[in-house]
Structure 1
């Protein structure tokens, strides 16, 4: 059975709230006690991403298991509880809504009926208050720094396209033609007899023939061959960040035992 003597240990030990089926619901948030009896009545359970949401669970039939609290309800039951802001104090209407949700309203809140084990332990009649807040000298709040890492875009450098000229040798083969001279001898026939006998019978004579040949002619032409553009793409790398964070620790200084 939970009592005020083990409240400090439960709120500072970093324990969890366990459901009736043995499933972990979430970590212990804040413990609320009755204003008249100072008996624990509610515990908030940190659920959701990074424990940003807190659900209320009744402590009437809860028990302690080491640093954990075992409640009499399942994980789904607690997570679906009415949304009540854990602001240090429960209003009567908020507490009535929670009792109704957990089926503890009949005889539990107003008639003191012992039909449930929660009735005698909790002693419903006044609203509870948060033992980890500034409303009591018997408990304190422990805080710690949490590391939140983000990113920002900075200029990492500049790149540019630069075009320059290089010279290289190109070798190719081209066919060329040329004229050559050769002697052709043909006998005197009736067909060429007139041309052959035209002129003196014996004489000296020269005949000049012009020869031609082809030579390679080189011409260069600048033509576009391709286009090059600068494009950007985003790649993702992993970067490890290490930073110091501060957290508060709470210890017990028992002067009474020391003086005995």
Structure 2
């Protein structure tokens, strides 16, 4: 697949599709032959840690949207021999032999020069910290419902009865003298007297039920945190600068 220099540069980071259009990963690195033609790419599949699967550019084609489509299925590419992410080493003879065998390609004689990794456009990755604010539950104290006994004075009134004695004197007249016989002697008559006094009887009666209820209340609390971020400055001579 013949590509222009601009297309080669645009390959880095582009999605790689299998023959059915399913995404395999993205282009990590590009290798060119002795003539400078790109022949192999590494594919970041996300399943091999710090390694990238290799795929041939032979019969591959660029889509209009810049994506690269290879004539293999996803499983074939993902199981292909791999290289370490970020390596700048050329592909050696053993690696090439394994790749041609894996993809069942015909190797056109011994290579005069091993495929060299093509440097991509200089780039740096700018990172920044972002905060993720959540909540966690922690003890905030214990509410107690305690019952205690106090003594207090209660004043009230109650009606009470008692006997009172009064002396009644009734004179004896001629009309009633016949019913009475004189009898001079000492004599005593008794009368039982009664009196009521207050009696206090205590009884225990329930008067109310007291319980603790817990309600969850949501409130906004400010969160202050320090985060770091990177700034990228490009030092380009004025004559070579192009504002974008």
Give the TM-score of the pair, scaled to structure 1.
Answer: 0.52
SS of 1:8's partner is helix
Whether contact under 8 Å (2:51, 2:84) holds in the other structure is: no
Asked whether 1:206 is paired with 2:187, we answer: no
Structure 1 residue 30, shift from structure 2 partner: 0.9
Counterparts of residues 54-69 of structure 1 (less than 5 Å):
54-66=52-64, 67-69=66-68
Structure 1 residue 180, shift from structure 2 partner: 7.2
Counterparts of residues 215-234 of structure 1 (less than 5 Å):
215-217=200-202
> What is aligned with 1:127?
114
SS of 1:27's partner is strand
SS of 1:17's partner is strand
> What is aligned with 1:21?
20
Separation in 2, partners of 1:247, 1:94 = 37
- CA offsets per residue over residues 69-122 of structure 1, 9 Å max, x none? 221211221112123324122232222212211112xx41537xxxxxxxxxxx
Relative to structure 1, is the Cα distance of residues 158 and 65 closer, same or farther in structure 2, using a 3 angstrom cutoff?
Answer: same
- CA offsets per residue over residues 120-166 of structure 1, 9 Å max, x none? xxxx453222212xxxxxx4332212446577999999844476989
In structure 1, runs of 5+ residues without a counterpart are: 112-123, 133-138, 171-177, 183-199, 220-224, 227-238, 256-260
Asked whether 1:88 is paired with 2:88, we answer: yes
> What is aligned with 2:71?
72
Give the TM-score of the pair, scaled to structure 2.
Answer: 0.55
The structure that is helix-richer by fraction is: 1
Counterparts of residues 69-218 of structure 1 (less than 5 Å):
69-86=68-85, 87-89=87-89, 90-104=91-105, 107-110=106-109, 124-132=111-119, 139-147=120-128, 159-161=140-142, 204-209=189-194, 211=196, 214-217=199-202
- CA offsets per residue over residues 10-66 of structure 1, 9 Å max, x none? 23xx422121222222222111112x22211111112227x9652110011112223
In structure 2, runs of 5+ residues without a counterpart are: 152-158, 164-184, 205-209, 212-222
Whether contact under 8 Å (1:144, 1:246) holds in the other structure is: no
> What is aligned with 1:190?
none
